[in-house]
Amino acid sequence: MKKGVMRPGHVQIRVLDLEEARKHYVDLLGLIEMDSDEQGRIYLKAWTEVDKYSVILQESDEPGMDFMGFKCLDESVLDRLAGEIRAFGLTVTELPAGELKDCGRRMQFVAPTGHTFELYATKEQTGKWGVSNVNPEAWPRDLKGMKATRFDHCLLYGDDLEGNLTLFRDILGFDLAEQVVDPDNNRVALFLTASMKAHDVAFIKHPEKDKFHHASFYLDTWQDVLQAADLISMTDTSLDIGPTRHGLTHGQTIYFFDPSGNRNEVFAGGDYHYPDHEPVTWQAGNLGKAIFYHDRQLNERFLTVVT
Ligand code: FE
């Protein structure tokens, strides 16, 4: 949080059929529907998040991610960072308060990998869902499905990783927590954090720009990941891989697809990061183990299917 960027705040995901998507994200993942708008978007949150929403679903002809937003400490951070992003050579568009419901103004820009990001500092706070902020109970009793606790990160595929590293590390104040390097020491994956989490956003080298690999949600325990796997079978949801563990970040994970083909992850555990930690490096020769610690083998679908 060196430069005032606090956390992943929201992601807008394109879905082909809003009703199908609602069933998936609400009934299976356990997100809570909070609102909708005139554009037909619906706004969802995970129960531990204090802000009103973190996932926005937009019906569209093709799946993928429209944008990912990071919440900043206060409004002054937005103007300062917008100036620095412009000096870096990117166009920054200021979207007015209210364009996303109950959200303040947003500074939007396209990163060197082609992905759209935005910074904002204000969003209506509704508090954790289903528990009071005074003498809170451990958890709400009427959560559905996987009971996702928070929107955690996105993994994105794109071409200019070095450009994104400069943008995220030097301008936005993220740390490079973990990386994958090829035999010539070129970076082929970046795991970046603005916090103590293992990653808040990650990028993998890919020839095309602006590809969405997954949006990830945090669960409390490995047992919850296993139960998520059971629910994936019970609902005949398309499974990608897991349950397993990552070498990178060491999280315990399972991947599956929403009805539009967007990949989701739920995971538990994982490493932590302090600003004085050196980046952890995986060599590309160990990529199988880095991604799937038990199988030690890559799954073609995991590498190539993106939206
Ligand atoms: Fe992930």
What residues contact 180, with CB distance under 8 A and at least 6 apart?
187, 188, 189, 248, 281, 282, 283, 284, 287, 290
Q: Among this protein's residues, is 199 annotated catalytic?
A: yes
Q: How many Cβ atoms sit within 10 Å of the Cβ of residue 183?
A: 8
Contact 23, 85 (CB under 8 A): no
Residue-wise pLDDT tens for the chain (307 aa)?
Answer: 899 999 999 999 999 999 999 999 999 999 999 999 999 999 999 999 999 999 999 999 999 999 999 999 999 999 999 999 999 999 999 999 999 999 999 999 999 999 999 999 999 999 999 999 999 999 999 999 999 999 999 999 999 999 999 999 999 999 999 999 999 999 999 999 999 999 999 999 999 999 999 999 999 999 999 999 999 999 999 999 999 999 999 999 999 999 999 999 999 999 999 999 999 999 988 888 988 999 888 888 888 889 9
What residues contact 19, with CB distance under 8 A and at least 6 apart?
none
Q: Among this protein's residues, is 272 annotated catalytic?
A: no
What is the whole-number distance in angstroms between the Cα of residue 303 and the centre of ligand 1? Answer: 13
What residues contact 165, with CB distance under 8 A and at least 6 apart?
176, 187, 190, 192
pLDDT of residue 90: 98
Q: Among this protein's residues, is 115 annotated catalytic?
A: no
Q: Which two tokens stand for residue 129?
A: 């869902």
pLDDT of residue 1: 83
The DSSP-derived string for 77-135 is HHHHHHHHHHHHT---EEEPTTSSTTB--EEEEE-TTS-EEEEE--B-B--STTS-SSS
What is the whole-number distance in angstroms between the Cα of residue 76 and the centre of ligand 1? Answer: 31
pLDDT of residue 65: 98
What is the whole-number distance in angstroms between the Cα of residue 155 and the centre of ligand 1? Answer: 6
What is the whole-number distance in angstroms between the Cα of residue 263 and the centre of ligand 1? Answer: 10
pLDDT of residue 299: 83
- CA neighbours closer than 13 Å in the CB half-sphere of residue 139: 11
The DSSP-derived string for 207-247 is SSSSEEEEEEEE-S-HHHHHHHHHHHHHTTPPEEEEEEE-S
Q: How many Cβ atoms sit within 10 Å of the Cβ of residue 132?
A: 9
Contact 49, 150 (CB under 8 A): yes
Annotated catalytic residue within 10, 214, 218, 273: 214
**Rounded distance between C-alpha atoms, residue 31 and residue 53, angstroms:** 10
What residues contact 100, with CB distance under 8 A and at least 6 apart?
10, 56, 106
Contact 79, 21 (CB under 8 A): no
**Rounded distance between C-alpha atoms, residue 118 and residue 109, angstroms:** 6
Annotated catalytic residue within 115, 199, 206, 273: 199
**Is the whole model's pTM more than 0.85, yes or no?**
yes
Q: Among this protein's residues, is 255 annotated catalytic?
A: yes
Contact 278, 203 (CB under 8 A): no
Contact 33, 22 (CB under 8 A): yes
pLDDT of residue 297: 86
Annotated catalytic residue within 24, 115, 153, 213: 153
What is the whole-number distance in angstroms between the Cα of residue 136 and the centre of ligand 1? Answer: 29
Say which amino acid occupies 115. H
CA-based nearest residue to 54, from 74, 35, 39, 73: 35
